[in-house]
Amino acid sequence: MIITGCSINESSQEDNNGICWDSIKIPIYAHDDALVPILNQVINDESTCEYFEDRDFLFVINTMKENDTYIINIELIEKNSINKIRNAGCFIYNDQLFIIEILNQNVEIFKSSSDSILLYIKKSKNLQHYLFDDRGSFWTYKLCNDSLKLVYKSICNY
């Protein structure tokens, strides 16, 4: 006997078309104003891409701290290509959803609130983890003493 269905998650449900949907409750965070130029640049860059209006995308932000400098990586991914990011938080800026991987080292850049959103994603029955997809746009910045420097970017790769 073969049984198909969504993962064993309580948050997973299968609709009438056999599509699995996951619901993820994600806490909302506030971002530091020092990130505004980065966010504006990322959205402006991405808005020039032909595919941007046609698909359901979100941005994922990872940060690392080296001494007094933050390395900020932002990647554009399709919303449904992600299952769960550990320690996720989010914020919305200019109608764009940014998912952040919350680490102890980036508490100065992101401040938590008591609010959260419920995000529904379509997922493969077999895919259980986020897989890095280097087709999307990608930006790397350095932030030190409120000074921003673009280190690398690659846009419109889908």
The verdict on residue 1 lying in a domain is no
Residue numbers of the domain that contains 49:
25-113+136-154
How many distinct structural domains can be found in the chain? 1
> Which residues are CB-neighbours of 50 under 8 A, at least 6 positions away?
156
What is the C-alpha separation between 3 and 22, in angstroms, rounded? 19
Pick 132 or 87 by higher pLDDT: 87
User: Are 96 and 36 spatial neighbours (Cβ–Cβ below 8 Å)?
Assistant: no
Average pLDDT estimate for 123-131: 50
The verdict on residue 119 lying in a domain is no
The verdict on residue 124 lying in a domain is no
The verdict on residue 96 lying in a domain is yes
Tell me what percent of the residues of the chain surpass a pLDDT of 90: 13
Residue 82 C-beta-side C-alpha neighbours within 13 Å: 24
Q: Which of the four pLDDT bands, split at 50, 70 and 90, describes residue 6?
A: very low
The verdict on residue 98 lying in a domain is yes
84 pLDDT more than 80: no
Sign of CA dihedral 28, 32, 38, 44: positive
The verdict on residue 83 lying in a domain is yes
The verdict on residue 13 lying in a domain is no
